[in-house]
Chain A
Amino acid sequence: MRYNSAMASRISRFANPGRFLQVSRRLLPWCGALAVLLILVGLYLALFVAPADYQQGEAVRIMYVHVPAAWMALNIYFFLALASGVALVAKHPLADVAAQAAAPVGAAFTFVCLVSGSLWGRPMWGAWWVWDARLTSVLVLFFLYLGYIALVDAFDDPTRGARAGALLALVGVVNLPIIKFSVDWWNTLHQPASVMRLGGPSIYVSMLVPLLVMTAGFAMLFLALLLLRMRSLLFERRARALRINGPAIEGAARRTDGGALSGANW
């Protein structure tokens, strides 16, 4: 497909915060409802339909929380880095808002991954925690999220905070392949990938389906929370501008958001 001016204008239309607020307002209820529905179906499949493991017994059910949370932790970080790159290079007006909205959600999924992993490790390995490559690199991921959130808030000037955070997010990308391949590169207690592997998944369909439904539910939850938090950030940003500059900002605000923020139907 050729990149033409019609496409460019279509893209810039979605780049417009006013347009984003209108679209996200319509999308949000559907994303939220779909997230709840998928997670409920996923829970039913995980707790009632999926079989117990022949080695791990019922403890294997922790997998349906742990693995989707781990995938989300990685994918949201990838999203955070991508949005940060776009914010730094293309100065897209929504990119740093997207990055800042995604970070706490990524941190929450990483936390769920770490805690559920610990609760799974105790009965299976006999240890709540071991300092091996996989566990340590995921802990580093958690601290990258927290570091990003703290750094963005550490500056009086929000633009400088966003820039510093974006740089940290990009540097942290080196951690992603380390997490992914840690189970192959180093000896570890953690089992290697059994779904995202060359040659296709090596687990039974009765376990794979609940895993995928739960992942879809978590992904939808991420999307809903991303939109919700992006909207909050845009509202807060505009309120700050109004408080500092008073009505004088109106003209400037209208120029940057295409006027869609003023008196629009949110």
Chain B
Amino acid sequence: MSGAAAFFAMGGYARYVWPAYGIAFLTLGGLALRSWLRHRASRKALDALDRRAGAREGAR
């Protein structure tokens, strides 16, 4: 077995080791992505509200 194949085989434990790393990556990466998208959206929404409030005040 070549080096890379031996590495991915994980001494016969591949079907336990790789899912553990994969689920950690998907869970934490997914949360990070969702947190980042939410941050961007909430900031844009607030900016839009602030601009509208500013325009209203300017018209007065």
Please give, as numbers and ranges, the residues of chain A lying within 8 Å of B28 by CB-CB distance.
108-109, 112, 218, 221
**Interface of chain A residues 173 through 232 with chain B (CB within 8 A):** 218, 221, 224-225, 228-229, 231-232
In whole angstroms, how far apart are the Cα atoms of A65 and B57 in the complex?
A: 54
Q: Decide: A69 and B17 in contact? CB cutoff 8 A.
A: no
Q: Decide: B10 and A61 in contact? CB cutoff 8 A.
A: yes
Q: Is A62 interfacial (CB 8 A cutoff)?
A: yes
Given contacts A58-B10, A65-B21, contact A108 B31 (CB under 8 A): yes
Report the tally of A-B residue pairs with Cβ distances under 8 A. 100
Of chain B, the residue at the smallest CB distance from A63 is: B20
Tell me how far the C-beta of B22 lies from the nearest C-beta in chain A, rounded to whole angstroms.
10
Q: Decide: A112 and B23 in contact? CB cutoff 8 A.
A: yes
Q: Is A263 interfacial (CB 8 A cutoff)?
A: yes
Q: Decide: B24 and A69 in contact? CB cutoff 8 A.
A: yes
Please give, as numbers and ranges, the residues of chain B lying within 8 Å of A94 by CB-CB distance.
none
In whole angstroms, how far apart are the Cα atoms of A79 and B37 in the complex?
A: 24
Q: Decide: A116 and B23 in contact? CB cutoff 8 A.
A: yes
In whole angstroms, how far apart are the Cα atoms of A109 and B27 in the complex?
A: 8
Please give, as numbers and ranges, the residues of chain B lying within 8 Å of A109 by CB-CB distance.
28
Given contacts A57-B11, A115-B23, contact A239 B46 (CB under 8 A): yes
Please tell me which one of the listed residues A59, A221, A235, A239 contacts residue B17 in the complex, with CB atoms under 8 A apart.
Answer: A59
In whole angstroms, how far apart are the Cα atoms of A127 and B17 in the complex?
A: 15
Interface string of A49-86 (1 = CB under 8 A from B): 00010000111011001100100000000000000000
Interface string of A114-130 (1 = CB under 8 A from B): 01100110110000000
In whole angstroms, how far apart are the Cα atoms of A25 and B16 in the complex?
A: 39
- Best-buried of A62, A224, A242 by chain B (most CB within 10 Å): A62
In whole angstroms, how far apart are the Cα atoms of A66 and B16 in the complex?
A: 12
Please tell me which one of the listed residues B7, B17, B39 contacts residue A228 in the complex, with CB atoms under 8 A apart.
Answer: B39
Tell me how far the C-beta of B5 lies from the nearest C-beta in chain A, rounded to whole angstroms.
13
Q: Decide: A232 and B23 in contact? CB cutoff 8 A.
A: no
Please give, as numbers and ranges, the residues of chain B lying within 8 Å of A59 by CB-CB distance.
10-11, 13, 16-17
Please give, as numbers and ranges, the residues of chain A lying within 8 Å of B24 by CB-CB distance.
65, 69, 112, 116
Please give, as numbers and ranges, the residues of chain A lying within 8 Å of B49 by CB-CB distance.
239, 242-243
In whole angstroms, how far apart are the Cα atoms of A232 and B19 in the complex?
A: 31
Please give, as numbers and ranges, the residues of chain A lying within 8 Å of B7 by CB-CB distance.
47
Chain A interface residues (CB < 8 Å from chain B)? 43, 47, 52, 57-59, 61-62, 65-66, 69, 104-105, 108-109, 111-112, 115-116, 119-120, 122-123, 218, 221, 224-225, 228-229, 231-232, 235-236, 238-239, 242-243, 246-247, 250, 262-263, 266
Besides A47-B7, A58-B13, A66-B20, 11 more A-B contacts (Cβ < 8 Å) are A58-B10, A58-B12, A59-B10, A59-B11, A108-B31, A115-B23, A116-B20, A123-B13, A239-B45, A262-B50, A266-B43
